Structure 1
Amino acid sequence: MSGAGRTTVACLDLAGTTVADGGIVETAFAEAIASLGIVSGTGAHKRAMARVADGRGRSKIEIFRTLFAEDEARAQAANLSFERSYDQLVDRRGLAPVPGAETALQRLADAGIKVCLLTGFSRRTLGRVLDTLGWWNLADMALCPEDGGRGRPWPDLILSAALRLGIDDVRDIAVCGDTENDILAGRRSGASIVAGVLTGAHDAPRLTAAGATHILPSITDFPPLVLPQNPTPPPKPLTTTTP
Structure 2
Amino acid sequence: MREPPAVSLVCFDLASLVIDGSIVERAFAEAIATEGIVVGTQDYVRSMVRLDRARGRPPADVLQEIFDGEEPRAQAASLAFDRSFRAAAERYGMTVPPDAVAALTKAAASGAKVCLLSGLSGAACGDLLDELCRPGIADLALCADDAPRGFPWPDLVLTAMLRLGTPDVREVAMVSATENGLLSGWRAGASIVVAIDSGGRGPQVGATHVLENVAALPDLIISGG
When the two structures are superposed, what TM-score results if normalisation uses the length of structure 2? 0.89
Moved over 6 A (4+): none
State the Cα deviation string for residues 142-187 of structure 1 (Å, max 9, x = none): 1122212111111011111112222221111000011111011111
Contact 1:148–1:160 (8 Å) recurs in 2: yes
Gaps of 5+ in 1: 230-243
Q: 1:44-91: CA deviations, max 9, x gaps?
A: 111101111111211221111011114221111111111111122223
- How far, CA to CA, are the matches of 2:94 and 2:10 in structure 1? 23
What is aligned with 1:210? 205
SS for the counterpart of 1:10 is strand
Counterpart CA distance in 2 for 1:22 and 1:132 is 19
* Number of aligned residue pairs: 222
Unaligned runs of 5+ in 2: none
User: Relative to 1, partners in 2 of residues 1:70 and 1:222: Cα closer, same or farther, differing over 3 Å?
Assistant: farther
**Separation in 1, partners of 2:167, 2:87:** 42
Note if contact 1:8-1:172 (Cα within 8 Å) is conserved in structure 2.
yes
Select which of 210, 213, 220 maps to 2:215.
220
The structure that has the greater radius of gyration is 1
Q: 1:111 deviation in Å?
A: 1.4
Range with bigger deviation, 216-225 or 30-39: 216-225
How far apart in 1 are the matches of 2:131 and 2:140? 17
- Distance, in Å, in 2 between the alignment partners of 1:124 and 1:217 is 32
TM-score, length basis structure 1: 0.83
Contact in 2 for aligned 1:204/1:215 (Cα 8 Å): no
Equivalent position of 2:42 in the other structure:
43
Q: In 2 relative to 1, CA 137–127 (structure 1 residues): closer, same or farther, beyond 3 Å?
A: farther
Q: Distance in 1 between matches of 2:179 and 2:133?
A: 28
**Structure 2 match to 1:101:** 100
Classify 1:26/1:163 alpha carbon distance in 2 versus 1 (closer, same or farther; 3 Å).
same
CA distance 1:212–1:134, change in 2 (3 Å): closer
**Separation (CA, whole Å) in 1 of partners of 2:165 and 2:44:** 44
Offset of residue 214 of structure 1: 1.4
SS at match of 2:65: helix
Give per-residue Cα distances to partners, 1:97-147, cap 9 Å, x unaligned: 234111122111221110111111112333432355463743111112221
